[in-house]
């Protein structure tokens, strides 16, 4: 108890926490939003996504819904330049992270991926200890602060600390599915991103774990911008502030953003018929 109080007495700047006007985070020091303009994505010659333009609001949760194969996962992977990791894949268009176009020639994809973190559908912890899982990303990015503190803080923000604090040296694989996913969230938080992308993070988990992850997301949006792809519409309605609906008309067409608005409107009174059909469960 006493030790915790001492830690908080050390100034936030000394502990390496991002400050207002730090230079690392422009604007008011809170996290950044993203502005996407005319984004198209290709797998080789196949166009999977066409002309998506969307404003992701800072410190809000934006949910992306739509039937399978409409390009939601492709879209979200373009936001941290993970799409091009697949051989033959490429994206065209502009994605602004704050003031910076992440697809500019001068942009560094490695740095972008630290600032825009991603949690995947199936938990993929490293074959290392729980501590190392969280610490590794920070270490290779040159974290200069106290690593023990960072690990503890990240695990706490991911709502996993209480369950693992006595077994940090054990393998990450020894955790349950829900715990592994929260570990993946913790390691994403450890590199202090501005945006957190989540590609169906709870779809492979049981309802209890899903609830825990959803609670976490509510906490996360206070410090980060969150974009989540989900097939679970109740989940989207519950946790998000804004919702985007992706859709394709015919098989083989590229996916496009069909409608985007505040969640309440999307689920009660959407503009477009396909959106309404989808959220009311008439298809998809």
Helix (H, G, I), strand (E, B) or coil at 31: coil
Task: Report the C-alpha gap between 40 and 256 in whole angstroms.
Answer: 9
Task: Provide the pairing of β-strand 34-43 with 116-119.
Answer: unpaired
| Cβ proximity to another protein, 118 vs 151, nearer residue | 118
**Residue 217, phi then psi, degrees to nearest 5:** -60, -35
| Cβ proximity to another protein, 126 vs 161, nearer residue | 126
Task: Report the C-alpha gap between 98 and 115 in whole angstroms.
Answer: 11
| Cβ proximity to another protein, 152 vs 192, nearer residue | 192
Helix (H, G, I), strand (E, B) or coil at 238: helix
| Cβ proximity to another protein, 33 vs 193, nearer residue | 193
Contact 226, 187 (CB under 8 A): no
Enumerate binding residues for another protein (CB under 8 A): 80, 82, 85, 87, 110-115, 117-118, 120, 122, 124-128, 136-137, 140-141, 171, 173, 184, 187-188, 191
Task: Report the C-alpha gap between 147 and 140 in whole angstroms.
Answer: 12
Residue 245 Cβ vs another protein, minimum distance, rounded to whole Å:
25
Residue 254 Cβ vs another protein, minimum distance, rounded to whole Å:
23
Residue 59 Cβ vs another protein, minimum distance, rounded to whole Å:
21
């Amino acid at each position: 108890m006493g030790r915790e109080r001492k830690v908080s007495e050390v100034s936030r700047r000394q502990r390496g926490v991002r400050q207002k006007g730090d230079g690392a985070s422009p604007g008011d020091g809170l996290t950044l939003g993203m502005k996407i303009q005319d984004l198209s994505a290709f797998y080789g010659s196949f166009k999977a996504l066409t002309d998506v333009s969307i404003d992701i609001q800072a410190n809000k949760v934006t949910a992306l819904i739509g039937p399978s194969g409409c390009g939601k996962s492709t879209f979200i992977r373009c936001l941290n330049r993970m799409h091009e990791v697949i051989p033959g894949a490429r994206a065209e268009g502009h994605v602004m992270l704050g003031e910076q176009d992440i697809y500019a020639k001068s942009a560094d994809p490695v740095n972008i991926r630290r600032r825009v973190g991603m949690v995947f559908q199936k938990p993929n912890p490293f074959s290392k200890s729980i501590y190392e899982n969280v610490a590794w990303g920070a270490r290779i990015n040159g974290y200069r602060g106290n690593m023990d503190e960072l690990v503890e803080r990240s695990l706490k923000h991911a709502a996993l600390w209480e369950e693992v604090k006595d077994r940090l040296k054990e393998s990450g694989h020894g955790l349950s599915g829900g715990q592994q996913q929260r570990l993946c969230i913790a390691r994403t938080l450890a590199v202090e991103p501005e945006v957190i992308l989540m590609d169906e993070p709870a779809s492979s988990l049981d309802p209890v774990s899903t609830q825990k992850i959803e609670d976490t997301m509510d906490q996360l949006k206070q410090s980060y911008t969150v974009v989540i792809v989900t097939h679970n519409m109740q989940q989207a309605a519950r946790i998000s502030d804004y919702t985007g609906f992706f859709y394709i008309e015919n098989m083989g067409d590229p996916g496009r953003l069909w409608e985007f608005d505040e969640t309440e409107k999307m689920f009660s009174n959407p503009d477009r018929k396909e959106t309404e059909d989808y959220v009311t469960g008439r298809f998809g």
